[in-house]
């Protein structure tokens, strides 16, 4: 499901950024702080298979100093057949500050994304519009019908539903990938962002599925944790893979136990 470096040499796989991006984006560029995004993390594996990865200390902010360490803890939930990720931001500075977790997961193009609809959707982030449909209480983005005009495209929306699903075509039965997290409303979103965002690059080699935690204050020495659970399921051959598909909605809700 996740891309490798053949899709894009810099942006591939899944990672965690902090939001808002205005903390670290230099105008005219988009380079996430390497100490958080691309530099090696110190990693340990426990006897029971829990993986803990810890970043170096970051101060890469242009709008004030926010000194923190990111820790990612991965473990398998065998009862749910899922991977649980605890993303932790620990304030290592001398003053409180506010941040959000920003999980950025890159998948291959030509899939179908859906999630519970919010009240507002912003479509015109970048150079071209994203074609979405809102049906049955869900927002749908079919990247296989994406107009491949020049330029990147991005959209975002509030959604308190707490999950985003991605369906990838496969000859042995399509794959259903779900990211479940604590849903937030527009009132809790980080400045300049929306709770759920999605992005298609130019030249259309990958799609990003992005989720944000609420924009919370972190006291000195405190840790702010966002938990995301990943599910991957095989759908039956012939399952309706079109926007509005009740079969897909039911498969997602069943997987999540809702």
Question: What does the pLDDT look like over 118-175, one tens digit per residue?
Answer: 888 776 655 566 788 889 899 999 999 876 666 788 888 888 789 999 999 998 999 9
How many Å apart are CA 153 and CA 235, to the nearest integer?
29
DSSP H or E stretch at residue 196: strand 196-200
Tell me how far apart the alpha carbons of residues 3 and 177 are, in angstroms, rounded to a whole number. 13
Q: What is the per-residue pLDDT across 37-90, written as a single tens digit (0 to 9) for each?
A: 989 999 999 999 999 999 999 875 666 689 999 999 999 999 999 999 999 999
With beta carbons less than 8 A apart as the criterion, state whether 212 and 181 touch.
no
Q: Has residue 192 been placed in a domain?
A: yes
Q: What is the pTM of this model?
A: 0.95
Is residue 8 situated within a structural domain? no
Q: Is residue 3 part of a domain?
A: no
Cα–Cα distance for residue pair 175/161, rounded to 1 Å: 21
Q: Residue 224: which pLDDT band, with cuts at 50, 70 and 90?
A: very high
Interval 195-210 mean pLDDT: 92
What pLDDT, on a 0 to 100 scale, did the predictor assign at position 149? Answer: 65
- pLDDT at residue 243, rounded to an integer: 95
Whole-angstrom Cα Rg for the chain: 18
Which CATH number goes with the domain that contains 246? Answer: 2.70.98
* Interatomic CA distance for residues 237 and 116, integer angstroms: 25
The pLDDT value recorded for residue 162 is: 94
Q: How many domains does the chain have?
A: 1
For residue 207, tell me if it sits in a domain: yes
pLDDT digits (tens, 9 = 90+) for 7-40: 999 999 999 999 999 999 888 888 888 888 989 9
- According to DSSP, the residues that pair with 159 across neighbouring strands are 184
Residue 56 lies in a domain: yes
Tokens of 3: 């891309």
Domain that holds residue 188: 14-256
* SS3 (DSSP) at 54: strand
110: phi > 0 → left, psi -120 to 50 → alpha, else beta; which? left
């Amino acid at each position: 499901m996740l891309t490798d470096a053949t899709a894009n040499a810099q942006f591939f796989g899944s990672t965690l950024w902090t939001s808002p991006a205005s903390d670290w984006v230099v105008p005219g560029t988009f380079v996430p702080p390497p100490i958080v995004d691309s530099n090696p993390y110190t990693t340990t594996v426990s006897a029971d298979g829990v993986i803990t990865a810890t970043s170096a200390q970051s101060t890469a902010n242009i709008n004030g100093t926010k000194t923190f360490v990111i820790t990612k803890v991965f473990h398998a939930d065998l009862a749910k057949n899922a991977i649980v990720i605890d993303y932790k931001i620990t304030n290592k500075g001398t003053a409180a500050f506010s941040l959000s977790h920003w999980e950025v997961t890159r998948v291959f193009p030509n899939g179908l994304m859906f999630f519970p609809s919010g009240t507002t959707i912003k479509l015109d982030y970048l150079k071209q519009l994203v074609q979405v449909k809102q049906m049955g209480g869900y927002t749908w983005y079919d990247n296989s019908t994406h107009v491949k005009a020049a330029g990147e495209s991005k959209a975002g929306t509030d959604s308190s539903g707490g999950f985003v699903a991605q369906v990838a075509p496969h000859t042995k039965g399509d794959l259903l990938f779900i990211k479940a997290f604590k849903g937030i409303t527009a009132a809790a979103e980080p400045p300049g962002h929306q709770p759920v965002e999605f992005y298609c690059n130019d030249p259309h080699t990958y799609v990003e599925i992005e989720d944000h935690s609420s924009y919370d204050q972190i006291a000195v020495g405190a840790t702010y944790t966002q938990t995301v659970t990943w599910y991957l399921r095989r759908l039956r051959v012939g399952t309706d893979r079109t926007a509005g598909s009740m079969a897909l909605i039911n498969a997602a809700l069943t997987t999540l136990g809702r």
